[in-house]
């Protein structure tokens, strides 16, 4: 449905995107996640057609909208965009805003499409209101209806939730996901907020320093991060150091926590130092465990307590998420049990 291959784009001498590739099937919701300045907004603008890439190609539906030879105009790409500030026309009513993209079709059909778009976001009662008379959430629903009314092949959402307050953000992102799923709409969301990405997307691209680090499901990003940046950026965790050795054609890393079998196919070799990713959920708290660590910090999170631990025989720290009833003070000894399901190691 959406296919982006080897997209490279720069402003003057500044490379903003370098060989970015990702693809979405019909009805999938994708997300581009990254810290500010990573080039994610530029990617959206390139897909919409506001910015012409240097190389690479973009295909939307059956149509190649942009490659070395073609560069199809914004208006003909059949892309709907929901802007960060919603960009509702303040001089037009809700109904007219939604009908704005339907001016080329006849009156009867326009009315039908507008009405169904309004019904979709449940705004029929607000047809004659103006944007400034609506709440933030309602404004966003108008923006969604306006973008969806012309039945675009692809919906792009540019930080579409960031101007809403956190509570509303969470509720709306859930609502919109089910709406898009029900309508089988392909969408790409741009955000810097992990929770938003996890709540909305089927697949997530992590962008940093103009490069796409990984294009995968949220589960894979967390448990099988492709790069050290993804491992650090997604979720919590710490690294502990170890040395890699070879045994029976297999690579093994030796650390203070023990030895772990590495997955094959990684650019790792015998004799080099490695860093093993330990997520808070890789550790289980067991008072009777022989492996002991000292509590150096703790933060109470309601159902759980996140403990920051220091191993007895090194200065490396670990994170452990323990149920809230397991209450230990800073300085106390803390028994841990290791259950690393995904062994992730970087050189």
Partner 1 sequence: MQLKASAFSLYTVLAGLIIGLPIFVVLLSFYSLDTAVWTHLSETVLSGYIYNSLVLALGVGFGATLLGTGLAWCVVSYDFVGKIWLQRLILLPLAMPAYIIAYTYTGLLDFSGPVQSTLRTWFELGKQDYWFPEVRSLPGAIIMMALVLYPYVYILARTAFAEQAQKFREVSVLAGVSKFQHFLQVALPLARPAIMTGAALAMMEALADFGTVEYFGVSTFTTGIYRTWFGMGDIQAASQLSGLLCMFVFALLVLEKQSRRSAETYSSRQGTGTQALKLSIGKGTTVLFLCSLPLIFGFIVPFIQLAVWALAYTDAGSLGEYPSYALNSAMLAAIGTVVIVLLALMFSYAKRLQATKLNRSVVQFVGLGYAMPGTVIAIGVLIPLGWLDIKLNLFTKHFFDVQPGLVFSGTIVTLIFAYTIRFMSVALHNTEAGIQRIKPSMDEAAITLGDTRLQTLFKVHIPLLSASLLSACLLVFVDILKELPATLVLRPFNFNTLAVKTFELASDERLIDAALPAITIVLVGILPVLLLTRTLNQIEKKHA
Site residues for partner 1 per CB under 8 A: 48, 50, 73-75, 79-81, 83-85, 87-91, 100-101, 103-104, 146-147, 150
Is the CB of residue 97 less than 8 Å from the CB of residue 89?
yes
Name residue 241's beta-bridge partners: 275
**Two tokens, residue 187:** 């969408």
Helix (H) or strand (E) holding 31, with range, is strand 29-33
Nearer to partner 1, 66 or 295 (CB): 66
Nearer to partner 1, 101 or 280 (CB): 101
Q: State the nearest-atom distance from the C-beta of 78 to partner 1, in Å.
A: 10
Q: State the nearest-atom distance from the C-beta of 73 to partner 1, in Å.
A: 5
Using alpha carbons only, give the angle 342, 321, 208 rounded to the nearest 5 degrees.
55
Q: State the nearest-atom distance from the C-beta of 293 to partner 1, in Å.
A: 49
Nearer to partner 1, 56 or 152 (CB): 152
From CA 248, how far away is CA 306, in angstroms rounded?
38
Measuring CA to CA, which residue among 67, 69, 24, 23 is closest to residue 46? 67
Name residue 285's beta-bridge partners: 336
Q: State the nearest-atom distance from the C-beta of 115 to partner 1, in Å.
A: 17
Nearer to partner 1, 104 or 325 (CB): 104
Q: State the nearest-atom distance from the C-beta of 29 to partner 1, in Å.
A: 19
Handedness of CA 89, 91, 96, 101 (dihedral sign): negative
Nearer to partner 1, 156 or 277 (CB): 156
């Amino acid at each position: 449905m959406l296919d982006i291959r080897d997209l490279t784009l720069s402003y003057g001498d500044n490379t903003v995107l370098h060989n970015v590739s990702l693809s979405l099937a019909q009805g999938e919701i994708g997300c581009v996640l990254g810290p500010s300045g990573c080039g994610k907004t530029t990617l959206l603008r390139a897909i919409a057609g506001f910015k012409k890439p240097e190389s690479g190609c973009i295909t939307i539906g059956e149509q190649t909208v942009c490659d070395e030879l073609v560069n199809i105009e914004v208006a003909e790409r059949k892309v709907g965009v929901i802007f960060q500030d919603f960009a509702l026309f303040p001089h037009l009513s809700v109904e007219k805003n939604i009908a704005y993209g339907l001016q080329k079709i006849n009156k009867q059909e326009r009315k039908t499409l507008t009405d169904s778009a309004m019904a979709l976001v449940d705004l029929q009662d607000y047809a004659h209101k103006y944007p400034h008379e609506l709440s933030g959430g309602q404004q966003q629903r108008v923006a969604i209806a306006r973008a969806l009314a012309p039945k675009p092949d692809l919906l792009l959402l540019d930080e579409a939730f960031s101007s809403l307050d956190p509570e509303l953000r969470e509720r709306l992102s859930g609502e919109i996901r089910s709406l898009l799923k029900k309508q089988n709409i392909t969408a790409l969301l741009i955000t810097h907020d992990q929770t938003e990405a996890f709540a909305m997307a089927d697949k997530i691209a992590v962008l940093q320093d103009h490069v796409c680090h990984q294009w995968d499901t949220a589960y894979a990003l967390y448990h099988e991060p492709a790069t050290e940046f993804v491992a650090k950026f997604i979720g919590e965790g710490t690294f502990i150091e170890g040395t890699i050795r070879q045994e029976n054609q297999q690579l093994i890393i030796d650390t203070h926590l023990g030895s772990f079998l590495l997955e094959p196919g990684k650019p790792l070799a015998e004799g080099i130092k490695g860093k093993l990713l330990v997520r808070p959920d890789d550790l289980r708290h067991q008072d009777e465990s022989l492996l002991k660590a000292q509590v150096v910090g703790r933060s109470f999170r309601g159902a759980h307590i996140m403990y920051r631990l220091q191993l007895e025989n090194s200065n490396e720290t670990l994170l452990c998420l323990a149920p809230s009833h397991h209450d230990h003070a800073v300085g106390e000894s803390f028994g841990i049990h290791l259950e690393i399901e995904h062994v992730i190691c970087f050189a």
